[in-house]
Every structure is written in structure tokens, then in C-alpha cells.
Amino acid sequence: QQQVKQSPQSLIVQKGGIPIINCAYENTAFDYFPWYQQFPGKGPALLIAIRPDVSEKKEGRFTISFNKSAKQFSLHIMDSQPGDSATYFCAASYGFQKLVFGTGTRLLVSP
Amino acid sequence: DTEVTQTPKHLVMGMTNKKSLKCEQHMGHRAMYWYKQKAKKPPELMFVYSYEKLSINESVPSRFSPECPNSSLLNLHLHALQPEDSALYLCASSQLGMNTEAFFGQGTRLTVV
């Protein structure tokens, strides 16, 4: 119930492509869904976040789509660049202190 | 300043050693966290402090001992660790309240030999 399932495990796209990362959850008490980006040797950094009363949110080239009835959400990266190559984690939380992370997706954007 | 600073960046310790990891933030955040991250795995929550008091302990072994001496500092004291405790230890902080952003430090890479 506390798990957040994330797929794919790894992803390779060409520059300009649109990688899509998917996550699914079971616990309907989750009410906050952030995405984190992590570069090697660095801590995770918040990319974008969404609440379940919103179906889509865009920030720059990053878009979250949220399907509350299916308990699924996804990250789209428009016009992907080699600098976007990183590991992406979806996460979910309820209350304000317990973040549950997905298993991570290693993205490689080839030039 | 949106930085969470962790020291040291790298640490190698023997199984009989005692060491401490340090974390500092000056964003006025009253919630601070320790996470453990193994290679190619997501971060896993260890401890949460709210208003300098321990509010969540995720059943972490007693060889890990957290301390929050004031609202800006968080320590993790390590004693009698095992090689399987080798990991990236991440500190984070956030405002208290619903759905607030957690800011992570770059972590301490710990190797237990």
C-alpha cells in the first residue's frame, strides 16, 4: 500500500525526443506527488509537483499528467536535451513528512 | 540561500569506529530529515525531526543515532556499523505544513570497511 511503482527502469531517447516516465500508487491517502531529478553524486532536486485535484501541470519543458481514478501519474519531458540525462524519481506523500519514492528511471538523452 | 550543506562529502570508517555526519540549513525550515540511499535505489527515510524533536524513526538500528542540536543543524552519529550500511546518506529540510518542498543536500558517501 505504501509503494509507488515506477517504469521504465531505464530509458534512452534522442535529443529532441519526449521521454515519458510512469508511476502508479495504491494508497488513496497520498495527496502530493513530486518528481525529483538526481545527477550522479548529487542529492535529489525537486523538478515539479502536483496535487490530485489537478489533471495536468506544466513547468517549462516538464509536464505531469495525473489520473486520479487510475491512480497513475506520469512525467513528460518536451524537447529533451543531453543535460536532462539523470535519474528521475516519482514520489508520493500524505501529511507533510513522509515521502515514498518510486524505484527510479535512468534517462539518457543522446546528442 | 536554498542550500542544505552536508559534511563530510566522503567518509570511510571501520566497523569499530565512531563517526558523525553533519547537516546544516539556513532556510528557517523546522523539519529536517535523514535518508539512506543505496546504489541505483531510491532514497529511504530514516528519521524526521520537527521543531528539533524526533517525530519519526523508521525502525532504524540503534547504531544510527540522530541529534538535532538546534533548528539549523542535524547530526547522525554512527557506531559499530556494518559493511551493508555503506550508502549515500542524504539530509533534507522543509517547511512544516502540507505538501512543502523538501530540499536535499548532496549527501555523504559512507563506506564501512
The answer, yes or no, to whether residue B102 has pLDDT greater than 70, is yes
Collapsed DSSP state (helix, strand, coil) of residue B83: helix
Q: Which pLDDT value is given to residue A96?
A: 62
- What are the respective helix, strand and coil percentages of chain A, to the nearest 5? 5, 55, 40
Query: How far does B18 lie from chain A, in Å, by closest CA?
Result: 24
Looking only at the bridges linking them, the beta strands covering A10-14 and A105-110 are parallel
- What type of residue is B100? T
Please measure the distance between the N-terminal and C-terminal CA atoms of chain B and give it in whole angstroms. Answer: 36
The answer, yes or no, to whether residue B63 has pLDDT greater than 70, is yes
Name the grid cell of A61: 519543458
Locate the chain B residue with the closest alpha carbon to A5.
Answer: B42
| Residue ranges for chain A with pLDDT beneath 70 | 1, 95-96
Percent of chain B with pLDDT over 90: 90
Average pLDDT over residues B55-81: 96
- CA-based R_g, chain B, Å: 13
Kindly give, in sequence order, each residue whose CB lies less than 8 Å from that of residue A101, ignoring residues fewer than 6 positions away. Answer: A4, A36, A89, A90, A91, B42, B43, B44
Name the grid cell of A58: 506544466
Q: Which pLDDT value is given to residue A1?
A: 63
Looking only at the bridges linking them, the beta strands covering B10-13 and B31-37 are unpaired
Query: How far does B79 lie from chain A, in Å, by closest CA?
Result: 24
Q: Residue B29, Cβ neighbours under 10 Å: how many? A: 20
Nearest CB among B31, B44, B90 relative to A43 is that of B90
Q: With beta carbons under 8 A apart, name residues in chain A contacting B42.
A: 89, 101-104
Nearest CB among A32, A43, A106 relative to B99 is that of A32
For chain A, say whether B27 makes contact (Cβ under 8 Å). no
Q: How many CB pairs under 8 A join A and B?
A: 62
Contact B32, B104 (CB under 8 A): no
Q: Residue B105, Cβ neighbours under 10 Å: how many? A: 25
B-proximal residues of A, 4-63, CB under 8 Å: 31-32, 34, 36, 41-46, 49, 51
Distance CA A110, CA B86 (A): 32
Scanning the structure block, which residue is given the C-alpha cell 505544513? B97
